[in-house]
Amino acid sequence: MVFSDLFFLFVFLPAFILLYRLGGWLDDRHSPDQLNPSHCWRNAVLVVFSLLFYAWGEPVYVLLMIVTVLLNYLSALWMVRSVSTRKIALVTGLVMNLLILGSFKYLGFFARTLDSLGLEVPVPEISLPIGISFYIFQSVSYLVDVYRSDAPAQRRYADLLLYISMFPQLIAGPIVRYDTIAREINSRNASAEDIYDGVFRFLIGLGKKVILANQFSEISDRFLVDGLGSLSTGGAWVGILAFTFQIYFDFSGYSDMAIGIGRCLGFHFKENFNHPYCCDTITDFWRRWHMSLGSFFRDYVYIPLGGNRRRQWFNILVVWFLTGMWHGASWNFIIWGLYFGLIIMVEKFTIIPWKDRIPRPLLHVYALLIVVLGWGIFYFDDMGALATFFQAIFGASDHPTDFTVEGALFDNFWLWITAILFCMPVRRWVSSVPERLMPGHMGIVGNITLLSRLVVATVILVISVALLIGATNNAFLYTRF
């Protein structure tokens, strides 16, 4: 199941809301301490619905996830019970997690690579469980946080299962660190304000995905999938630009929906995107894109390896190699990761020291160019297609442009404009306008905000429903992970 699906929106969600509220009512009635009500029933509903959500798409692999959580639960308890062998417990837990991830996601890749090097290796066909990259990383985060005593080990298996399998963030992130929400598992509060913000955030995410990302995916498919055989230079550029918007709105939209639902439940997930296309260097870009992944690698790989104190070059390359590899079990992803790693290293000694001397628009163009070309590497896991694409984009194709390019631009003109607009922090600007025009009149400001939010929410809901009906493929790009 995915969020931008009518069945999720109009069957799963209503059922969940109803039962969750019921659970909340039961909790409140049976709680001896009204200030700290038990979350027993609420959490039970959340866990059950999360498992249903996952099982809907993976009826068999849901067991894998349940077992993974169990293994992590036991490892953490071992760590806590026996201080002398806690390192062994950590290592065992990490190895198990990585073995699971490795087998289900990378075994085929390793086998194919060895095979292409000449070694006779049978290539297994293993289907990738949805969300495995996310939940394994969250498990790793849990074990390390417990080891470092940043958070206490979970005494209850059900609560750990809740953290890992929570449906808002299970399938496509953000990667929620255990210490972020450990307390909130059993003590959280969602006021009307929280729900107001959460619902609005969810709808923004839905709009980004359905209204923007889905339309861009049609354009990018037209050039980069269907039209690859006769790709013109203009077509390559339009295709990859469409993909640039597609992946941003797809992924950030999903993160918005996750954060929104989390907020409604009383969880406060950290932001995952900060207007990445407003970056000025690649270093800056990666501090704005998929921030939960970046901070995961920083805290759990880069710093443990020595960070910038020891063998910095090596550490950076390792992190970027892993970043690339996390995105997919194919060489183009690894190249993509290393591409950014190298550029970031080069930036450290060239652009960053001189950043104030270089005009910002120039930096901005430079950074976006690198990012867009990077998406070109990211898009094609077939090397032949990748080569075709790069030949076309640098001018070595049959024709510089064709009429389909004009069509893609003019027939979707307002889509492009809207997309460019929403890459920028419009919400911040727009919400600050009433405050600046009428300082001190918080009441009127509040009403204007309410009115505009009502209009936006209604429009998004109605348009998204219309676009979803009859739309077919709707899978998130990042559900491959």
Partner 1 sequence: MKRAYIFLTLIGGLFLGLAIIFMFFPRPSFSEVERRELKEFPEFSFSRLFDGSFTSDVSSWFSDSQPFRDDFMTLSMTIKKGMALQRGEGDDQFVFHQTGDVGADLMPGGMDEADKKAAYALREQADREIPEGDISAADGEESKMSKSGILIVGSGDKVRALMNFGGSPASGNPYVAMVNAYHQALGPRVKVYSMVVPIAMEFYCPEEARKRPGLYKSQLPTIKHIYSSLSPEVHAVNAYTALSDHVHEDIYLRTDHHWAPLGAYYAACEFARVAGVHVPQLSEFDENVIHRFIGSMYGYSKDISVKNAPEDFVYHTPKDKSYTTTFTVMDVDKDFRVVGEGRPFKTQFFKKFKDGSGNAYLTFMGSDFLIAKVETGVKNGRKLAILKDSYGNAVPGYLFGSFEEVHVLDFRYFPHNIVDYCRRNGITDFLFVNNIFNACSSGVAARSKALLTRKDSSFSLPAKKNEAPAATEAPVEDTQAEEAEDGQTSVVATEAEEEEEEEEDDDGKSVGEMAKK
CB 376 within 8 A of CB 325: no
CB of residue 156 to partner 1, shortest distance in Å: 29
Cα 37 from Cα 31, distance rounded (Å): 5
Q: Which stretch binds partner 1 (CB under 8 A): 80-88, 222-230, 346-354, 377-385?
A: 222-230
447 binds partner 1 (CB under 8 A): yes
420 binds partner 1 (CB under 8 A): no
Looking at the Cβ atoms of 88 and 442, the one nearer to partner 1 is: 442
Q: Which of 306, 353, 400, 407 binds partner 1 (CB under 8 A)?
A: 407
Q: Which of 19, 91, 372, 463 binds partner 1 (CB under 8 A)?
A: 463
CB 476 within 8 A of CB 172: yes
Looking at the Cβ atoms of 184 and 402, the one nearer to partner 1 is: 402
Q: Please, which contacts does 30-39 make with residues 24 or more away whose CB atoms are closer than 8 Å?
A: 36/187, 38/186, 39/185, 39/186, 39/187, 39/188
327 belongs to the catalytic site? yes
Q: Which stretch binds partner 1 (CB under 8 A): 30-38, 77-85, 157-165, 396-404?
A: 396-404
DSSP assignments along 253-301, one per residue = HHHHHHHHHHHHHT--PPP--S-GGG-SSHHHHTTTSSHHHHHHHIIII
Report the amino acid identity of residue 212: L
Q: With contacts defined by CB under 8 A, how many residues of the chain interact with partner 1?
A: 61
Q: Which stretch binds partner 1 (CB under 8 A): 95-103, 107-115, 282-290, 412-420?
A: 412-420
404 binds partner 1 (CB under 8 A): yes
* Residue 123, phi-psi category: left (phi > 0), alpha (psi -120 to 50), beta (remainder): beta
CB of residue 466 to partner 1, shortest distance in Å: 4
Pick from 332, 313, 311, 333: which is nearest to 324 by CA? 333
CA angle 58, 59, 64 (to 5 degrees): 75
Eight-state DSSP code of residue 58: -
Q: Please, which contacts does 408-416 make with residues 24 or more away whose CB atoms are closer than 8 Å?
A: 408/219, 408/222, 408/223, 408/238, 408/242, 409/238, 412/215, 412/219, 415/212, 415/215, 415/216, 416/245
Looking at the Cβ atoms of 124 and 407, the one nearer to partner 1 is: 407
Looking at the Cβ atoms of 231 and 325, the one nearer to partner 1 is: 231
410 binds partner 1 (CB under 8 A): yes
446: tokens are 């509040």
Chain positions 234 to 273 lying near partner 1, rule: CB under 8 A, are: none
**Token pair 């997309």: residue:** 419
Looking at the Cβ atoms of 210 and 316, the one nearer to partner 1 is: 210
11 binds partner 1 (CB under 8 A): yes
414 binds partner 1 (CB under 8 A): yes
CB of residue 469 to partner 1, shortest distance in Å: 4
398 binds partner 1 (CB under 8 A): no
Q: Which of 98, 111, 121, 471 binds partner 1 (CB under 8 A)?
A: 471
466 binds partner 1 (CB under 8 A): yes
Report the amino acid identity of residue 285: F
149: tokens are 């005593």
34 binds partner 1 (CB under 8 A): no
Looking at the Cβ atoms of 140 and 203, the one nearer to partner 1 is: 203
The single residue of 39, 290, 327, 364 carrying the catalytic annotation is 327
Encode burial over 318-342: b for 16+ CB neighbours within 10 A, e otherwise. bbbebbbbbbbbbbbbbbbbbbbbe
225 binds partner 1 (CB under 8 A): no
Q: Which of 381, 453, 479, 480 binds partner 1 (CB under 8 A)?
A: 453
The percent helix, strand, coil of the chain (3-state, each to 5) is: 75, 0, 25
Q: Which stretch binds partner 1 (CB under 8 A): 57-65, 97-105, 162-170, 332-340?
A: 57-65
Looking at the Cβ atoms of 195 and 317, the one nearer to partner 1 is: 195
**Phi, psi for 31 (deg, rounded to 5):** -90, 130
Cα 96 from Cα 99, distance rounded (Å): 5
Element (H or E) spanning 434, and its range?
helix 426-437
189 binds partner 1 (CB under 8 A): no
160 binds partner 1 (CB under 8 A): no
437 binds partner 1 (CB under 8 A): no
Cα 140 from Cα 272, distance rounded (Å): 19
CA angle 110, 111, 116 (to 5 degrees): 100
Looking at the Cβ atoms of 169 and 215, the one nearer to partner 1 is: 215
Residues tagged active-site: 327
Which residues are at the interface with partner 1 (CB under 8 A)? 1, 5-7, 9-11, 14, 55-60, 191-193, 195-196, 199-200, 203, 215, 218, 222, 226-227, 230, 402-404, 406-408, 410-415, 446-447, 449-450, 453-454, 457-458, 461-463, 465-473, 475
